Structure 1
Amino acid sequence: MTMSTLTIRVDEQLKREAAEVADYYGLDLSSVTRAFYKQMVNTHRIPLTFAPEDPNDDSRAAIAEGDKFLASGKAGRFTDARSLIRAAVS
């Protein structure tokens, strides 16, 4: 198999953030890029989606509930983030 080199111009911050994600999974950017191309060849598709993810029914209900509560102007159970976190971990 003959190997080839590919040069990609990308914003330094984007590269750094992508490398952090790859590193989280124990990979480097070259491995991720090769995997992307292999997936493209294996599926004959570009493995990307440009559509935003739609919330599921439970999430939609929770969003509607939150919107309704905010619109009511009522005070919530917690006065600040610290009290919310304390309640969540206890």
Structure 2
Amino acid sequence: MASVTYPIWVDDALKGDAARVAEHYGFDLASVTRAFWKQMVRTESIPLTLRSEEPNEESLEAIRETEEIFASHRPGEGFKTARELLDAARK
């Protein structure tokens, strides 16, 4: 089976970030790209997750705290300034 070089155009920052992730797992970008293509063929699908990431526990706690702040404020009153909002959050 013949091998072919296939150019992929990405910006330097993206390539650098991807290389760091690949290296973290002990791979180089070429190996990861070949593995990706092989998995596409094996599964007859594109192995990507196209949904939003799930928030971690810290983010969920921040969301709960924010909801409590807004719930404790009188309905219809609102915050006139960002400072009022921040002061309410610190209480």
Common topology (TM > 0.5): yes
If asked which structure has higher relative contact order (CA below 8 Å, sep 6+), I would say 2
Partner SS for 2:90: coil
Q: 1:62 to 1:5 in 2, by over 3 A?
A: same
- One-letter amino acid of the structure 2 residue matched with residue 16 of structure 1: G
Structure 1 gaps of 5+ residues are: 77-90
Q: 1:67 to 1:74 in 2, by over 3 A?
A: closer
Post-superposition offset of 1:68: 3.0
What RMSD, in angstroms, separates the aligned Cα atoms of the two structures?
2.6
Aligned residues: 75
Post-superposition offset of 1:49: 2.1
Q: How does 1:21-40 map onto structure 2 within 5 Å?
A: 21-40=21-40
CA–CA separation in structure 2 for the residues paired with 1:60 and 1:12: 31
TM-score scaled by length of structure 1: 0.67
Partner of 1:47: 47
CA–CA separation in structure 2 for the residues paired with 1:11 and 1:74: 40
2:66·2:89 contact (CA, 8 Å) conserved in 1? no
- One-letter amino acid of the structure 1 residue matched with residue 9 of structure 2: R
2:33 maps to 1:18: no
Give identity over the alignment, percent: 45
CA–CA separation in structure 1 for the residues paired with 2:26 and 2:66: 40
CA–CA separation in structure 1 for the residues paired with 2:35 and 2:16: 19
2:18·2:29 contact (CA, 8 Å) conserved in 1? yes
Q: Which entry has the higher C-alpha Rg, 1 or 2?
A: 2
